[in-house]
Each structure stands twice: as structure tokens, then as C-alpha cells.
A = this chain, B = another copy of it.
Amino acid sequence: MSQTIKAGLVGVTGYTGMELARLMTHHSSMELVRATSRSEAGKTLADIYPFLNRLPLGDLVITQPDPADLAEQCDVVFLAVPHKTAMEIAAALLDEGVKVVDLSADFRINDKATYEKWYAVEHTRPELLTEAVYGLPELYIDQIMGARLIANPGCYPTSAILGLAPALDGGLVHPEDIVVDSKSGASGAGRGAKVGTLFCEVHDSFRAYGLPTHRHTPEIEQEVSKLAGKDVTLSFNTHLLPIDRGILSTIYTRLADNGTTLDDVHATYADFYADQPFVRVLPMGQLPETRYVRGTVFCDIGLVIDPRTGRLIIVTAIDNLCRGASGQALMNANLICGLDIDEGIPMAPMMP
């Protein structure tokens, strides 16, 4: 790189902001030059994140979010703010000529009415819905490279869509009979102070939540419908794991042809992801574990056929903060800024 890309981060105090700070520490071609927070402006990053002490990034002073300033200083801006908040900031930044990677849900749903129904707010920038590119590189890399606005995928949808894509694209399963049983680590619940996510309320326990109306449902359905070539309605259900990071989704499908073998399925998946370095179709007989992808953008996929019930069971694992949020956002930022997709992307999981 002859020149360093300058990046901004709106909303630094949550776990996705924290994760982006981690990733930027080792990026050689992109530099975080702005980090904003309404509540922490004036402090340095190291003040709020002691793990950045003595690192150059730790000296960055947090500022108030200001589109004009961000536009002047940054080539690309990450939005790590709640849905509804993001849509206006994104529009303002785009108006100023800055590229935007939005980690919220605001531009993921193509259809305004669907967005408004599931998120219960009005979408005030519907004109951007058609422009925004869904930032799942395995499916949309060409569109991403030319985009100004990336709708960074949700964590659960990433795990579900990557797991289902080859099966639906290849017509291996019935699209109308899909159950996605997902389990997520607690960082997915955010960094807000709530009794329900206190250590003593989560540790050494496990629970289902949000059934059957999780907001990631329409996002999954939208993308798998495109893959299936028809409208898909599926059952998506979520659980809270007492771990920091990681989503494991167990996806139940019914084979279109009962004669399909595991060899067939494995070959279809291996072929679909042959050129995708970040999706690992595991050897037959192996199943994913969240620790094997911890801190990385890998999506591990295990495949099982249950001949007794005619089902193909797809098990996927990702790191919800890295592949499910900030790591994927960085892949997208790399792409829209003309860098290689894997610059600054960690490949080695924290083990144990």
C-alpha cells in the first residue's frame, strides 16, 4: 500500500466497537482516525479500554459524532450504533462523499414495509435501501467492491445463510421445511447495563429467548429466498449461551431426494465454497465448535445426514463479534477501499 486508508467509527462503546478497535490494532493499511461516542467524548480509547494502553490506537481521542468532521477525515466510516439511529447518519455521510459500512439492521432489508413491520420504526431513507449492498462476501463480492453503502449482515443471519446457501442453491432440500436452532454467546446481547445479562444471570445457565419473533428472521428469509429461487418462510429460534463469543446454528432441513448421500452433499458444499478461504466445510464426521472460530471470520460448517428421518442437518459456527459483526465489516471496508479482503483479518483462533 502506498497510502493508508483512514477510517472512522461511530459508536465505540459497544462490543462491536470494542472488537473493531481490536482488529484495527494489527491492520497495516487502514488506520482508525476517528472514534465517536456521545457519552465518552474527550477521553482517549485507552481510558475506556485499558487493553489499548501503550498501543498507538489507545491515544486516539474520542469525539462527538459529526458527519462533516468524519467526512473530512475519513475514507470510510463504520456505524456501530443502534438501528434507526444509523439510517440518518449513513445518509449524511454518503451526502458528504464518505463510504459507509453500517453494522446496524437499517439497510439489510430490501423491502421498506418488511423492515418497518419487524423493527417497528419508520424507515426515513428508503431511497438508500436499493443502493445498499448486503455485505456477505461469499455471495456478493462483486457488488460490494463497487458499493458506497454496505449493509453489514447480522450475526445470526450470517451463520444461517452461509449454512443454507449451497443446499438451497443446489436444490438439495425442501425450502419450505427449514428450522434454524441458533445459540449465541452473551456479547450478542450488547454492552448495555441490564439485569438480564449480569454475570450471575447468565453464567452456568442456558435459556431460549425471543421465540418465535426474532428480528433476524426476515433478513434470513430474504437471502435464502434468493438462493432458493422462491419465497421461503422458515422457523428461526434463538438461545443464550454462557460464553463470550460464538454462534452455533443447528439447521434442520429435509432432503429433496432421499437417495442423496453425505458424499453428494459434502461435494456440493465443498464446490460451492471452493474459492472462499473463510468458509471451512469440515471433513465428514467432524462437527463445528465455537472455539475453533473464536476471534476469526471463519464460518465452519459440519454436515450430517440422518437417514432415519430423511433430514440433512447443517451445523455452522461463527464468532458473532468478528464474522458476525466487526470482522465482516472490516472485510467489507477492505473491499470497498480497494484493499485485499483479508488485510488485518485474524486467521488464528484463540485456543483455548
Once the chains bind, are A309 and B201 in contact (CB under 8 Å)? no
Q: Given that A211-B313, A287-B207, A349-B22 are contacting pairs, would A200 and B308 also be in contact in the complex, using a CB cutoff of 8 Å? A: no
Number of A residues near B (Cβ < 8 Å) is 84
Q: Is A286's beta carbon under 8 Å from chain B?
A: yes
Q: What's the least CB distance linking A255 to chain B, in Å?
A: 12
In the complex, chain A residues 292-313 whose Cβ is within 8 Å of any chain B Cβ = 292-295, 298, 300, 302, 304-306, 308-309, 311, 313
Partner of A302, one of B195, B208, B235, B294: B208
Q: Enumerate chain B residues within 8 angstroms of A53, measured Cβ to Cβ.
A: 280, 282, 292, 300
Q: What's the least CB distance linking A14 to chain B, in Å?
A: 10
Q: Is A346's beta carbon under 8 Å from chain B?
A: yes
Once the chains bind, are B194 and A206 in contact (CB under 8 Å)? no
Tell me the bound Cα distance from A295 to B248 in angstroms.
23
Once the chains bind, are B241 and A241 in contact (CB under 8 Å)? yes
Q: Enumerate chain B residues within 8 angstroms of A203, measured Cβ to Cβ.
A: 186, 199, 202-204, 242-244, 352
Q: Which 4 A-B pairs have the closest CB atoms?
A: A205-B291, A212-B306, A25-B348, A207-B289
* 28 intermolecular pairs with C-beta atoms under 8 Å apart: A25-B348, A26-B346, A50-B300, A51-B292, A51-B293, A51-B349, A51-B351, A53-B292, A179-B179, A186-B198, A186-B200, A193-B194, A193-B195, A198-B198, A199-B199, A203-B242, A203-B352, A204-B243, A206-B241, A207-B287, A207-B289, A207-B317, A208-B315, A212-B305, A212-B308, A235-B309, A242-B243, A244-B352
